[in-house]
A = this chain, B = another copy of it.
Amino acid sequence: MRAASLDALVVTHLPNVRYLTGFSGTAGVCVLLPSRCFLVVDFRYLTAARELARDLEGAPIAVEAVERTYEEVVVSVLRREQCLRIGVEAAWLSVSRFNAMAGALAAMAPFPLQSDHPVPVLVPTERLVERVRIVKDAGEVETLREAARRLSAIARRLASFVTPGRRERDVAVDLETAMREAGFSRPAFDTIVASGPNSAFPHARPTDRLLEAGEPTVLDFGGVYDGYCVDLTRTVQLGAPTEALRRLYEAVEEANKAAIGVVRPGVRPSAIDAAARAVLETHGLGAAFGHGTGHGLGLEIHEEPRVAREIAGLPDEPVEPGMVFTIEPGAYVPGVGGVRIEDDVLVTAEGCDVLTDAPKRIEVRV
C-alpha cells in the first residue's frame, strides 16, 4: 500500500478478506487502512464478525453493518476516514461494483469542485494481498502439511477404489466420502475420475463409464482442510498397460521427478515448468502436455505461483521458502490414453519438501 501511495485498500476477494481478518463468510468486504481495518458484513454475519473482532488479539478490527448495499457502507467508511487514494482489487472487483463505488464517491464530492476538497480516486491494483499470501507462515505450513498427509493416506488406498466394472461416478463419490471421513470440510474442486479414452481429457468429469482392465484411470482429487486446499493426482493402471501407455507412465513420472528436483529458492516457476516439459519433449510428448506444471495452494485451490510457461505480463518471480504449489505434469494422447502424476511441494531453504506421500505409480493386477 505504501509503494502504491494508497490511503486505503478495499479488499473484495473473499480469500483475501479471510487472510487479513480471519472472517470466512460468503460475503464481506475489508477496508484496510495503514493502521486500521474495517470489516463490512451484512446481517447474516454480523454476530459472527463481532465475536471474531472481540476475540482478536493484536490489530483491532472494526465491524460495520450493511444496511442496503456494501458499496454505500464502504464509501461512507472511506469518507469518514478521509481517504483520497483508494486501491481496489482490479482482478476481483466487477465493473458494476467499481462503477457503484465510483458513483457513490462522486455523489459525495462537493459541487462545484473546490481545490481544497480533493476528490477521492479509485486506483486499480493487482496482487497486493496475493503477494503476501504466496509465502505461507508457520501455522499455514502446518495446516497444509497435515492436509497433505491426510490426502496422501487416501491416495495410498486408491487400488481399493479402482476395480474393473465400477462406474467413474461411483469412484468419485468414494473419494469424496473418504475425504470427508479424513476431516476435510469439502472437496476443493470437482473430483476427476477419467478412465480409458476419457483419461486423454485433462479435465474430464466423472461419467457413467465402467472401468475396464488394461486401461489407465486418472484420479485427481483434493480437499479443504481448516480452510486450506491440497490437491493430488495419481493414474491407476488396471492390469498390464500397452507398450504405448507404459511409455506415457514412464515419461510423466520422470517429468514429475525432474520438476520436483529443480525446486529451490531463487528458481523461477517457468524454469520448474521447463524441467517437466523438457523431459516430455525428449520422449516426443511435448504436444501431449498442454497445461501448466502446477499452481499455488492455500486458501484457494488455484493461487500463486503459476508454475507454467513464461508469458509476458504474467508473474514469474523466483520461488521462496514457504511457497506451496503442485507439480502435475501429464501427457494425453487420443487413442492411447492419459497419465498425470501430481504432488504438492513446500519450498524450503535448501530445496523442497514433498508434502504428498504416496507411490507415484499404481498398477493393479486384475
Contacts and interface: CB of A to CB of B under 8 A. Distances in A.
Interface of A: 24-26, 43-45, 47-48, 68-69, 88, 90-96, 98-99, 124, 126, 173, 176-177, 180-181, 185-187, 190, 200-203, 205, 290-291, 311, 334
A24 to B, nearest CB: 8
A190 B186 contact: yes
A25 B94 contact: no
Shortest Cβ-Cβ A-B pairs, 7 listed: A43-B290, A90-B95, A90-B96, A91-B96, A173-B180, A44-B203, A44-B202
A156 to B, nearest CB: 22
Contacts of A24: 205
Contact of A96 (B43, B126, B177, B200): B126
B90 A203 contact: no
A124 B290 CA distance: 34
Contact of A177 (B48, B177, B185): B177
Contacts of A202: 43-44
Given A44-B291, A47-B201, A95-B93, A180 B176 contact: yes
A26 B203 contact: yes
Contact of A94 (B91, B181, B203): B91
A45 B25 CA distance: 32
Contacts of A205: 24
A95 B126 CA distance: 10
B124 A96 contact: yes
Q: Taking the full assembly, how many copies of this chain does it contain? A: 2
A211 to B, nearest CB: 18
A48 B207 CA distance: 14
A94 B96 contact: no
A43 B95 contact: no
Contacts of A92: 94
B201 A48 contact: yes
A9 to B, nearest CB: 14
Contacts of A98: 95
Nearest to A183: B169
A95 B90 CA distance: 5
A173 B180 CA distance: 7
Contacts of A47: 200-201, 334
Given A26-B203, A94-B95, 17 more contacts: A43-B291, A44-B202, A44-B290, A47-B334, A69-B311, A90-B95, A90-B96, A90-B99, A91-B94, A91-B95, A92-B94, A93-B94, A95-B95, A96-B124, A99-B124, A173-B181, A176-B176
Q: Choose among A92, A98, A311 the residue with the greatest number of B CB atoms under 10 Å from its CB.
A: A98
8 contacts: A26-B203, A44-B290, A44-B291, A95-B124, A173-B180, A176-B176, A177-B180, A185-B190
Contacts of A48: 201, 203
Contacts of A290: 43-44
